[in-house]
Amino acid sequence: MANRPDISDSVIHFTKAATYEEALQVLLTIVGEGHLAGGSEKIRGGYRCVCFTEAPLPAVASGLVNTDSFSRYSPFGLMFSKQWLYERGGRPVIYQSDAEFHQMPEGSRWRHVRYEPSAVPPIDFTWEREWRVQCDELQFSASQVVLVVPNQEWRDFVFGIWDSQQELEAEAYSTVLDHLFMQQMQEPCPWRIVPLAI
């Protein structure tokens, strides 16, 4: 793919939450479960999909927001390669009028997103640069995902959580196993984490 600042080789699923702390908890729950759950909210036809943005990281430094600085999303998310998502059936959505929904083949209607810039008020979600994969559940492993957090402080905080969990596990087993052995058994954090802002 061409090296352009407006194009990304990745897609991001941002979490939704009222606070950064809640958003991080949602992110850690998803990571712990190893899957993203499909949903049908705001998807015409009730199709269950997992949704992403293809906006490049520098374009979403404050999270995924539109020109009015409004967003349903937090700056915490999971990033996957487009190729990986494409291989699982992921595709860019099709922005079009609601009248065009029934003109689409049944097998593609899950990709429809209403776009009517002449409506009053205008309906335009193109700023989301959305991709979807139709599924009830999208499973992933640590090697397939990069965690996205707002900044370096949040990145360090997540690594700190991992280290604390490792220490607690080592302490729990230290009564039956050698302490030095337990230290050697501690694993580095399996997740790659990237901050939106440095």
The tens digit of pLDDT for each residue in 117-136 reads 999 999 999 989 999 999 99
* Domain region containing 171: 151-191
Q: Are residues 136 and 176 in the same domain?
A: no
- Residue 54 maps to a domain: yes
Distance of alpha carbon 166 from alpha carbon 186, whole angstroms: 6
The tens digit of pLDDT for each residue in 103-121 reads 999 999 999 999 999 999 9
- What the block records as the tokens of 63 is 């999270």
- Residue 4 maps to a domain: no
- Residue 22 maps to a domain: yes
What Å distances lie between residue 88 and 106, 133, 138, 141, 170, CA to CA?
19, 7, 9, 14, 38
Start-to-end CA distance of the chain, whole Å, equals 26
In the chain, the number of structural domains is: 2
pTM, two decimals, is 0.86
Please choose, from the candidates 152, 151, 154, 155, the residue with its C-alpha nearest in 3D space to the C-alpha of residue 192: 155
- What the block records as the tokens of 76 is 């915490």
Q: Are residues 88 and 62 in the same domain?
A: yes
Distance of alpha carbon 75 from alpha carbon 53, whole angstroms: 12
Q: Are residues 86 and 162 in the same domain?
A: no
Q: Are residues 40 and 111 in the same domain?
A: yes
- Residue 2 maps to a domain: no
Q: Are residues 32 and 117 in the same domain?
A: yes
Q: Are residues 20 and 98 in the same domain?
A: yes
pLDDT digits (tens), the chain, 198 positions: 557 778 899 999 999 888 899 999 999 999 999 999 999 999 999 999 999 999 888 777 766 655 554 567 888 999 999 999 999 999 999 999 999 999 999 999 999 999 999 999 999 999 899 999 999 999 999 999 999 999 999 999 998 888 777 766 666 665 655 555 545 556 778 889 999 886
Q: Are residues 87 and 165 in the same domain?
A: no
Q: Are residues 88 and 183 in the same domain?
A: no
- Residue 88 maps to a domain: yes
Q: Are residues 19 and 76 in the same domain?
A: yes
- Residue 94 maps to a domain: yes
- Residue 1 maps to a domain: no
Q: Are residues 67 and 106 in the same domain?
A: yes
Which residues contact residue 57 at a Cβ distance below 8 angstroms, ignoring those fewer than 6 apart? 8, 10, 12, 79, 148, 194, 196
- What the block records as the tokens of 160 is 């700190």
